[in-house]
Amino acid sequence: MRSSQLLIPTLRETPADAEVASHILLVRGGFIRRLTTGAYTWLPLGLRVLKRIEAIVREELARAGAQEVLMPVVQPAELWRESGRWDTMGPEMLRFTDRHDREYCLSPTQEEVVTDLFRRVVTSYRHLPCNLYHIQTKFRDEIRPRFGLMRAREFLMKDGYSFHLDDASFEAAYAAMHDCYSAILRRLGLDFRAVDADPGAMGDGDSHEFHVLAGSGEDTIAFSPASDYAANLEKAEAPALADDHPVQPMQTVPTPGMKTIADVSAHLRLPASRCVKTLIVHAETDEEAPALAALIVRGDHELNEAKAARLAGIRRPLTFATDAEIEAAVGASPGSLGPVGLSLPIIADRTAAAMTSFVCGANEDDKHHVGVNWERDVGSVQAADIREVLPGDMAADGSGPLSFRRGIEVGHIFKLGDKYTRSMDVSVQDRDGRAVTPIMGCYGFGVSRTVAAVVEQCHDERGIVWPTSIAPFTTHIVALTGRKSTAVEAAASRLYEELTAAGVDVLLDDRDERPGVKFADADLIGIPHRITVGERGLKTGIVEYARRDGSETRELSLEEAAAYLTRAVTQPANP
Ligand code: ATP
Ligand code: MG
C-alpha cells in the first residue's frame, strides 16, 4: 500500500497519559487512538498487526484441535445467576438493563455462555472431547486501566473452553493448549515463561500463566535459572528456613509506644528476622458472629495474601480484622500481638514455625516477649506456606536459588473441573448410556495485550522493531522524492509493483515529505525491512537496504533488490 492512501497519524510528542514504551510508541506510530479510559480505536496499521496475531492464534489452535465459534458480548444475567457468579463478580463486570428491565452484562469472560451453549447442543459422548474458542471483545471495568492496551477496559481476548468425559481426556487437552500457547509465543518471537499460577476466582484446580518477560510487566515471576521452574508470586512455594538459635528462657520486656517490627527490633538491638509479625484476619465460619484467626510470619517476611486465602478456615478473599475487632478479641492493639496465650486459631508460616527464641508482642500494649519457643510457650502450631518468596530462596524443585523477573501475562489456562457443568446442570451420556457431568478447561489469550507485549520487548529509542511474523508490512520502501524526482518515483513504484507481485507486503512511502521526516516515521513504525530509493544512488542504479533491527545494511542494485527482499522477508528466523 501507499502511505499517501493510508491513515498513519504519527506524532512527534509523547502523549501525556502514556507511561510505558508500548503505549507511547503505538500512539505515536499511529497504530491506536484512545476513545475513552481503557478503550482504543485500531487504526489501519494497528489493525494489521492485530489481525496477524489473530491469524497465528487461529492457525495454532486449529492445529491443536480447537474449533472457532463466535458468541455474543451481551450476556443475560440468568446464566450468571445459575453459576452463582452474578453476586460474586465485583464491579469489574459492567451490568445494565434493557427496555424490558431484563438484566445483562458485557462479557468479561464466557464460561456461563459456553456452558449454556454446550448443554443445548451436545448430549452424547460422541461429541466429546469438544474444544470451542472465539476471538471476541471483552469488557472489564478495571479499577486502574493503564498502560494503553496492556490493562484496558475493552480488549480483545481469545477465550477457549474444552469439555471432557474424564480426566485423561482433559489432561491431554490441557497439555495440548500449553504447547499451543508456547508455539504461538515462539512464532511471535517473544521471550516468555510458562508459570505455575493461582487460579484466583476462576476455579480451584491447576493453572498456568504465560508471561512475556519485560521490565514494564505488572507481575513478578519467580523462576529458577537452573531449571524450567517458574511460578507467579501467588503460587511460588517459599522454603522453610532453618533456625539454630539456642533455646532461651521467655521473658517479658517493656516496649513503650513501639508498634512496628522496626521499632521493636531497634529497641532490642535484634534484627527483624528474630521477631515475628502477627496479623489478624477473618476466619471462615458458619456462625453469625465474625470469627478471627492469627497469621504469623517472620519479622522481615511479608504475608502472601493469595496463599493465606487458600488455607482452609480462612475467609476468601482475605480480609484483615479492624483495630476494634482486634481490641475486642485480644485486648491489645495491632502492634502488640503475638501467639503466646492467644485464644485464636494460629497459622504460622513454615519459616516462622521453625524459629527458636523469637520476639513477639505480648498481647498487652507496650510489652513484648523475648526468647519465645513454640512448643514450650505456645504449644504445637499449624505451619503453612503463607509468605512471599524472596530472590535467593531455594526454588521448590530444589534446582537452585530463585531469581525474579517482571512479566506481562498474555495467556492463562485453567482447570475448571465441574464447577460450571455442575452448577448449570450439564450432563452427557457416556458410552454405556450413563449420565456424566463433563469436566472443563478454559484457556484465555490476550490478543490485544499481546500487541503491547511485543512492543515492550521489541523497540529501541527510535521506535518499534516488529518481528517479521506480525509486522503491519514486512517491507518499507522509502522514496526520497525530494524536489519531485520523477526518476525516484518511477524506480520506487517499479520496485513496489515487483515486490507486491512476488507476494511481499510492502508499504511505499510516497508522501511529499522531507527525508528526515520519512526516516523518523519509518523508524517509529518499525517495519522490519527497508529499501531507500534516492536520487544519488539511482545515478549508479543503487538502492539501500537496511533491517530495522540494525543487523544488516547494504547497497543493492535496482535489478537485484526485489529478489533479495523476497528472500529476506521469507527467511524463517525473525530478527
Ligand atoms: P490480570 O491478572 O492481568 O488482570 P486476569 O488473570 O484477570 O489478568 P484472565 O481472566 O485470565 O486475566 O484473562 C485472560 C487473558 O486476557 C489474560 O491473560 C490477559 O492476556 C488478557 N486480559 C485480561 N485482562 C485484561 C485487560 N484489562 N486488558 C487487556 N488484556 C487483558
Ligand atoms: Mg484481571
Atom of ligand 1 nearest to the CA of 140: 27
Cβ-Cβ contacts under 8 Å for 58 (sequence gap 6 or more): 68, 135
483 pLDDT above the threshold of 90: no
Q: Sorting pLDDT into bands at 50, 70 and 90, what band is 200?
A: low
pLDDT tens digits, one per residue of 373-423: 999 999 989 999 999 999 999 999 999 999 999 999 999 999 999 999 999
437 pLDDT above the threshold of 60: yes
State whether the beta carbon of 157 lies less than 6 angstroms from ligand 1: yes
pLDDT of residue 206: 79
pLDDT tens digits, one per residue of 343-384: 999 999 999 999 999 999 999 999 999 999 999 999 989 999
Rounded distance from Cα 483 to ligand 2 centre (Å): 53
pLDDT of residue 316: 85
State whether the beta carbon of 412 lies less than 6 angstroms from ligand 1: yes
Lowest mean pLDDT among 38-42, 282-286, 529-533: 282-286
Q: Sorting pLDDT into bands at 50, 70 and 90, what band is 202?
A: low
- Nearest bound ligand to CA 108? 1
pLDDT tens digits, one per residue of 208-229: 999 999 999 999 999 999 998 9
Cell (9 digits) for 458: 521489541
Q: Sorting pLDDT into bands at 50, 70 and 90, what band is 574?
A: very low
Residue nearest to ligand 1 atom 8, measured at CA: 409
State whether the beta carbon of 138 lies less than 6 angstroms from ligand 1: no
pLDDT of residue 362: 96
DSSP conformational letter for 2: B
Q: What is the 3-state secondary structure (H, E, C) of 188-225?
A: CCCCEEEEECCCHHHCCCCEEEEEEECCCCCEEEEECC
481 pLDDT above the threshold of 90: no
Rounded distance from Cα 160 to ligand 2 centre (Å): 17
At 68, which helix (H) or strand (E)? strand 67-68
State whether the beta carbon of 521 lies less than 6 angstroms from ligand 1: no
Rounded distance from Cα 227 to ligand 2 centre (Å): 28
- The CA-CA-CA angle for residues 412, 415, 416, to 5°, reads 110
Residue nearest to ligand 1 atom 19, measured at CA: 446
What is the rounded distance in angstroms from the CA atom of residue 121 to the CA atom of residue 272? 61
State whether the beta carbon of 447 lies less than 6 angstroms from ligand 1: no
Cell (9 digits) for 249: 528462657
Atom of ligand 1 nearest to the CA of 445: 15
51 pLDDT above the threshold of 80: yes
pLDDT of residue 123: 87
Contact between 451 and 558 under an 8 Å Cβ cutoff? The reply is no
Please confirm whether the linkage preceding 572 is cis (ω < 30° from 0).
no
pLDDT of residue 571: 74
State whether the beta carbon of 334 lies less than 6 angstroms from ligand 1: no
Cell (9 digits) for 344: 485464636
State whether the beta carbon of 141 lies less than 6 angstroms from ligand 1: no
Atom of ligand 1 nearest to the CA of 153: 27
Of 53, 85, 142, 155, the one to substitute when testing ligand 1's pocket (max ligand atoms within 8 A of C-beta) is: 155
Of 157, 235, 455, the one to substitute when testing ligand 1's pocket (max ligand atoms within 8 A of C-beta) is: 157
Nearest CA-CA partner of 332 in 348, 343, 345 = 343
- Nearest bound ligand to CA 109? 1
Higher pLDDT, 517 or 287: 517
State whether the beta carbon of 411 lies less than 6 angstroms from ligand 1: yes
Does pTM surpass 0.85? yes
State whether the beta carbon of 410 lies less than 6 angstroms from ligand 1: yes
Rounded to an integer, the average pLDDT of 275-295 is 89
What is the rounded distance in angstroms from the CA atom of residue 88 to the CA atom of residue 99? 25
At 516, which helix (H) or strand (E)? helix 515-525
Amino acid at 521: D
pLDDT mean across residues, the chain: 94
State whether the beta carbon of 444 lies less than 6 angstroms from ligand 1: yes
Cell (9 digits) for 60: 495454532
Rounded distance from Cα 446 to ligand 1 centre (Å): 6
State whether the beta carbon of 446 lies less than 6 angstroms from ligand 1: yes
Atom of ligand 1 nearest to the CA of 152: 28
State whether the beta carbon of 193 lies less than 6 angstroms from ligand 1: no
State whether the beta carbon of 451 lies less than 6 angstroms from ligand 1: no
Residue nearest to ligand 1 atom 18, measured at CA: 411
Counting every residue written for the chain, the total comes to 575
Rounded distance from Cα 526 to ligand 1 centre (Å): 26
- Nearest bound ligand to CA 198? 1
Instruction: Using CB atoms within 10 Å of the CB of residue 447, give its burial: 0 to 12 exposed, 13 to 18 middle, 19+ buried.
Output: buried
Atom of ligand 1 nearest to the CA of 409: 18
State whether the beta carbon of 155 lies less than 6 angstroms from ligand 1: yes
432 pLDDT above the threshold of 90: yes
Of all residues in the chain, the percent with pLDDT exceeding 90 is 91
At 268, which helix (H) or strand (E)? helix 261-268
What is the rounded distance in angstroms from the CA atom of residue 56 to the CA atom of residue 407? 22
- Nearest bound ligand to CA 306? 1
pLDDT of residue 413: 96
Q: Sorting pLDDT into bands at 50, 70 and 90, what band is 484?
A: confident
Higher pLDDT, 521 or 312: 521
Of 210, 412, 413, 416, the one to substitute when testing ligand 1's pocket (max ligand atoms within 8 A of C-beta) is: 412
